[in-house]
Amino acid sequence: MSTTVKTKWVGDMVFDAEINGHHLLMDADPEWGGKNAGPRPKPLLLAALAGCSGLDIVSILNKMQEKDYTFEIESEAESTSEYPITYHTILLKFLFTGETLHQDKIVKAVTLSTERYCGVSAMLKKSTNIIVKIFINGKEVI
């Protein structure tokens, strides 16, 4: 299966990527000639990573009959200082809130996603150290 994304330069430092029929504008910081018309490309990797794992986790928890919770993912990346500037470390914080959460189910779902199912994670792990932390109701469990 192949994936095609068309990315068109629309002027200044703005690019329009068409992804699955959706459009996403990307731009540079004003100090680099951009006008802040969209996110920078590299942080979109963090969004893709969080989205990929998040979709897996919600699906797995649904199958486990885990209900009545809220869920957020915070992604923090540390960059190298030399060109090409890349992320050398990514910290993923999986934040769950709920009255009746089962820690074992949460840990299993996050582990399955981050170690087996998420393709974005698998690709980034080849070049980046990814650290996973899980919080349930504000308490770090892993």
Answer yes or no: do 85 and 120 share one domain: yes
Give the pLDDT score at 1.
87
Q: What is the 3-state secondary structure (H, E, C) of 7-43?
A: EEEEECCEEEEEECCEEEEECCCHHHCCCCCCCCHHH
Kindly report, residue by residue over 92-119, the tens digit of the pLDDT: 999 999 999 999 999 999 999 999 999 9
Domain that holds residue 68: 41-140
Average pLDDT value for the chain: 97
- Give how many domains the chain has, as a whole number: 2
In this structure, are 53 and 123 located in the same domain?
yes
Verify that 83 and 132 share a domain, yes or no: yes
Q: What averages of pLDDT result for each successive group of 10 residues across the chain (142 residues)?
A: 95 96 96 95 97 98 97 98 96 97 98 98 97 98 92
Q: Please check whether residues 16 and 28 belong to one and the same domain.
A: yes
Task: Provide long-range contacts, Cβ within 8 A and 24+ apart, for 114-123.
Answer: 114/53, 117/56, 118/49, 118/52, 118/53, 118/56, 119/52, 120/45, 120/48, 120/49, 120/51, 120/52, 120/53, 121/49, 121/52, 121/53
Are 119 and 86 part of one and the same domain?
A: yes
